[in-house]
Amino acid sequence: MPNHIPCKKTQQNPLFPCKKCIFAHIFPDKMYRKNIKNLIKWKLSKNRKPLIVQGARQVGKTWLIKEFGKTEFKHTIYVNFEKEIRLQELFLQDLSPKRIIATLETFFTTKINPEDTLIVFDEIQSSQHPRGLLR
């Protein structure tokens, strides 16, 4: 598990860290377990919808989701829209899940099985159609 990276408020005034940064520094393992537990609860949900993970910059969101994918899924498809410019066009056409999955399968040369494949869209704000496409 990575070390906690302090939030902007704590970075600006390290003598007076915020409560979350103090808690994460003292109990990093507890924070990890709590977050993974919430992600597992989402995974087991029968009517699972896309999950949006939000938070301050540089606090470990990407690491947590990748770790969750490694430990809880057979396969993880990771798309970083800042790095994969070609995939930004993925959402310029219709938003059909079948078409999007077929495109990802071709791009990553792997079969996507909803039961054991986690698809992660990171830095989605760099895409042409962020967030609205997840509805």
**Dist CA 122 CA 63 (whole Å):** 11
Q: Which pairs count as long-range contacts for 113-118, CB under 8 Å and 24+ apart, including other chains?
A: 113/74, 113/75, 116/73, 116/74, 116/75, 117/73, 117/74, 117/75, 117/76, 117/77, 118/65, 118/68, 118/69, 118/72, 118/73, 118/75, 118/76, 118/77
pLDDT tens-digit profile of 49-86? 888 888 777 778 888 899 899 999 999 999 988 888 88
pLDDT tens-digit profile of 91-119? 777 778 898 899 999 999 999 998 899 99
Does the pLDDT value for residue 25 go beyond 70? no
- Residue 4's pLDDT band, with cuts at 50, 70 and 90, is low
Mean pLDDT of 41-48: 88
Q: What is the pTM of this model?
A: 0.70
Quote the longest CA-to-CA distance of the chain.
Answer: 51
For the chain, percent of residues with pLDDT exceeding 90: 23
**Dist CA 70 CA 33 (whole Å):** 15
**Dist CA 40 CA 45 (whole Å):** 9
Q: How far is CA 38 from the centre of its chain?
A: 13
